[in-house]
Amino acid sequence: MITRLLVANRGEIARRILRTCRDLGIETVAVFSDVDADAPFVAEADLAVGLPGVTPADTYLRGDLIIAAALGAGADAVHPGYGFLSENAEFALRVHDAGLTWVGPSAEMIAAMGSKLAAKKLAIDAGVPTLSSRTLGPPSSGPASEAAPPTPARPVDAAPGAGDEAFFPVLIKADAGGGGRGMRIVHDPARLEAELAIARAEAAAAFGDAEVFVEPYVADGRHIEVQVLADTHGTVWTLGERECSLQRRHQKVIEETPSPFVTGTLRGQLAAASVGICRAIGYTGAGTVEFLVAPTGEFFFLEMNTRLQVEHPVTECVTGLDLVAWQLRIAEGAALPPEPPEPTGHAIEARLYAEDPARDWLPQAGALHRCEIPGIDARFAVPVGFGLRVDDAGADQVSVHYDPMLAKVVAWAPTREEAARRLASALAGAALHGLATNRDLLVRTLRHPEFLAGATDTGFFARHALTAAPEVDRLSVLAAALAAAARNRAGAPVLGGIPSGWRNVPSSQQVKVFVGHEVTYGLTRTGLAATHQGVDLSGVELVSATPDRVVLARDGLRHTFEVATYPGLVCVDSPLGAVTLVPVDRFPPPRAAHAAGSLLAPMPGTVVAVHVTAGQRLPAGALLLELEAMKMRFPVTADADGTLTALHVRVGDQVDTDTLLAVLEAHQ
């Protein structure tokens, strides 16, 4: 029996595992980096051990430190969660050799599926179709890894070269990882080598393994996965399929079960293929078999994840199971019942990220002042009956070193339509202050006619322009100005109850300026007169104004605006949409002025590659340097033809948002 479990992970998944352990009466140990010292998952564990450092390579990828922490804390088992070392066969073996129980499949099973290429060979032997066996050429040396070149016995697909245009487009994939890291679509053969280098670097940073391979890229297919659960007594369950086709950067954004595309016949075929693969290696524990399904219904094995998936809550909701609890029971030797439970209803999960879809999904880092989602029925657990579930990290800071996911929000309802409506409503009503998020994109997607019709293939986001920043509502800006006036008046020594701007006789109007917005307004006995960017806001009546709430009426309809003020930031929430404003000080402090052609860092990160030198003449689009953050690489390119007159950073430099990177003098 497991009595004390070390969770070898962080954030949301660590909290998820800790919750089940509390239910089962198992003591817990957390490990944490310097950045995570004050994170909620650390406080929620019974014991915690620090891992000195901030990067994954120095902390959560250090198996030796984690095993030492487990032994020092008196743990008798280790749960890896997902990501980091969860699919590292060597780590699983070392945990076992240290006398600890590994909560997951054996090291041998992880190794069998740890290489996507080897897993495809196993699937072929089991009679399951794969993309590589059908469309790529004969095995060859393939794209070599800079860190660990493949041995001659290792199956590697042939990588198309610049002369093999017929093979393109192709998808580069990390052999040892997932979650979108090390994945690149290449349409132009001339870009293959450069994209291979980036993919290898991302894979090495995320998984400690730089091996990558290529396969044909199938546009507009569907990413369908089957949840499996197998015990040590020979029982293998399949728990339905999950539709995971809505992705950005090859990382899932919205997942659901059951899939609106999968028929009963296809469901049976996918289940049979998944069981066949599990039996071929004697698999035990929780796992996920992933498939690419063509519009014709033809399917191809992609990979098997030998761990818990990020999207496991949707399966838990429709089955009523606690998959973490079953992982622990199977690790203790318990047997599954002969048949799995029948699913009930429909569940949809949205991943809420700190990122800006309007700026090519640029990740955000920094302070998260508020993250409140209305109507939550359960956290880290299946709601009683249908309802809304949230799994979140609960942190007030998003670090540049880790994934920027804030929360997983899951709606479980009797029908798909009801689940989509409940989830969209909860996200639309959420208060998210401090960082840009993908909330508006999620709401637009869940309410889109094609989504509601089940047209959720991998080309969905390419077909629909859903990433643009929403238009700022004029009444929301006016509400922010009136709330600021109320705050000023509340602090005044006299006449504290009268809104600022009120005049007994006609007078000059008050002016409030935010970045990109200017509001003028005046309050008299006859009412409110206001403009926004010169546009007359006629017919608007001020009902009430306090520093944190403003009620306005227009055309007989009352609108309530919740206003939150932070240093240098004002957030306005209402049914008209969330608005974030940056106040402009009347006497702003002097700021450093950048010369024309200055290229600034779009986000905090580390400079990991510099491809140019000062004095070079460069064409528009030329790659200047690369930043790494959130385990991903982001290119900085020339925005025009020009000469690089200055380069202000070098490899290894840490930069903040708007740090000056280089200066490019554009050619006339």
Neighbours of 568 (CB within 10 A): 8
Q: Does residue 598 sit in helix, strand or coil?
A: strand
From CA 140, how far away is CA 561, in angstroms rounded? 63
Do β-strands 517-524 and 527-532 pair in parallel, antiparallel, or remain unpaired? antiparallel
How confident is the model over 639-653, as pLDDT tens digits? 889 999 999 999 989
35-62: b (≥16 Cβ within 10 Å) or e:
bbeebbbbebbebbbbbebbbbeebbbb
Specify which residues 159 forms β-bridges with: none
How confident is the model over 124-178, as pLDDT tens digits? 999 998 875 332 222 333 333 333 222 222 233 444 554 555 567 888 877 766 6
How confident is the model over 477-516, as pLDDT tens digits? 999 999 999 998 887 665 555 555 555 545 568 999 999 9
For the record, the structure tokens of 444 come out as 């637009």
Domain 134-216 class? alpha beta
For the record, the structure tokens of 429 come out as 């009503």
* Assigned fold of 598-666: OB fold (Dihydrolipoamide Acetyltransferase, E2P) (2.40.50)
Do β-strands 77-79 and 4-7 pair in parallel, antiparallel, or remain unpaired? parallel
How confident is the model over 520-565, as pLDDT tens digits? 998 776 678 899 999 999 889 999 999 999 999 998 899 999 999 9
From CA 513, how far away is CA 511, in angstroms rounded? 7
CA nearest to 266, candidates 304, 238, 305: 238
Q: What distances in angstroms separate CA 33 from CA 3, 19, 393, 401, one per listed residue?
A: 24, 21, 15, 11
The string of DSSP letters for 127-142 reads T--BSHHHHS-S--S-
From CA 103, how far away is CA 332, in angstroms rounded? 9
Most confident region among 116-130, 283-297, 510-524 by mean pLDDT: 283-297
From CA 264, how far away is CA 509, in angstroms rounded? 67
Amino acid of residue 474 = R
**Inter-axis angle of helices 89-97 and 107-114, nearest 10:** 170
pLDDT on residue 257? 98
The ranges of the chain annotated as CATH 3.30.1490.20 are 134-216
Residue 215 CB contacts under 8 Å (≥ 6 apart), including other chains: 131, 132, 135, 136, 157, 170, 171, 173
The ranges of the chain annotated as CATH 3.40.50.20 are 4-103
From CA 309, how far away is CA 136, in angstroms rounded? 29
How confident is the model over 608-648, as pLDDT tens digits? 889 999 999 999 888 899 988 876 778 899 988 999 999 99
How confident is the model over 43-90, as pLDDT tens digits? 999 999 999 999 899 999 999 999 999 999 999 999 999 999 999 999
Average pLDDT over residues 12-39: 98
Q: Are 348 and 378 in contact (CB under 8 A)?
A: no
Residue 417, judged by CB atoms within 10 A of its CB (0-12, 13-18, 19+), counts as exposed
For the record, the structure tokens of 566 come out as 């932070």
Do β-strands 170-174 and 212-216 pair in parallel, antiparallel, or remain unpaired? antiparallel
CATH of range 222-463; options 3.40.50.300, 3.30.470.20, 3.40.190.10, 3.40.250.10: 3.30.470.20
CA nearest to 88, candidates 114, 68, 65: 114
The string of DSSP letters for 5-41 reads EEE---HHHHHHHHHHHHHHT-EEEEEE-STTTT-HH
The ranges of the chain annotated as CATH 2.40.50.100 are 598-666
* Assigned fold of 4-103: Rossmann fold (3.40.50)
Helices (H) and strands (E) in the chain, counts: 16, 40
The ranges of the chain annotated as CATH 3.30.470.20 are 222-463
Residue 194 CB contacts under 8 Å (≥ 6 apart), including other chains: 623
Q: Is the CA virtual torsion 370, 418, 447, 359 positive or negative?
A: positive
From CA 498, how far away is CA 83, in angstroms rounded? 56
From CA 99, how far away is CA 97, in angstroms rounded? 5
From CA 84, how far away is CA 56, in angstroms rounded? 8
For the record, the structure tokens of 201 come out as 């670097």
Q: What distances in angstroms separate CA 577 from CA 385, 407, 444, 517, one per listed residue?
A: 30, 20, 12, 17
How long a stretch of residues is the chain?
668
For the record, the structure tokens of 576 come out as 């008209």
Helix H or strand E encompassing 551: strand 549-554
